[in-house]
Amino acid sequence: MSNNQELTKLEFLLTLEGNIICQRYFNVRDFNPQATRSMDLHEYVKSICRKISDDLRIKSSNYLCENKEYILGLENVEDTTAAENEHFLLQIKQNDHVFIQRIFPAYVFHPKVRYTVDIRPMLKNFLSDLTTIMSMDELETTYLGYKL
């Protein structure tokens, strides 16, 4: 393999309070180190979190609609004091170095949904797009006139 086609191994990691939900390793051909500090990557990771949240929101709504008779009969569905601190954490790593991470709330989703997260249908697109971004030559590396 020639020098201009080296593979760089990266890690996609989604956790809920330290428990791994999804962990995938993926290779990036022609890795551009500037991509780790680019607005392109930041915006895409933000988009991933939004898509996961939207999916969980729809699943929570469907669950509540399907089980409305059961839920209406309960006085308290869950103890919200412990759940208010639960958050999802999405990290993109190279070796053990986390170069981007994003946290988003988990407590806003029903427990039956938040503890059975399945992002496998979306994962192939996420990793494909991340691979593309991490190997791009034309990247936005400034924000409000500051170099990232």
Note the pLDDT tens digit of each residue in 67-112: 876 655 555 555 555 557 899 999 999 999 999 999 999 999 989 8
d(CA 75, CA 15): 30
**42 sits in which H/E element:** helix 39-66
Tokens coding 33: 């180190």
Question: pLDDT value at position 4?
Answer: 52
β partners of residue 25? 11
Residues 6+ apart with CB under 8 A from 16: 86, 87, 88, 89, 106, 114, 115, 117
Report the predicted TM-score, pTM, of the whole model to 2 decimal places: 0.84
Domain residue ranges in the chain: 7-134
Q: Give the DSSP letter of residue 46.
A: H
Give the pair of three-digit tokens for residue 41. Answer: 């990557």
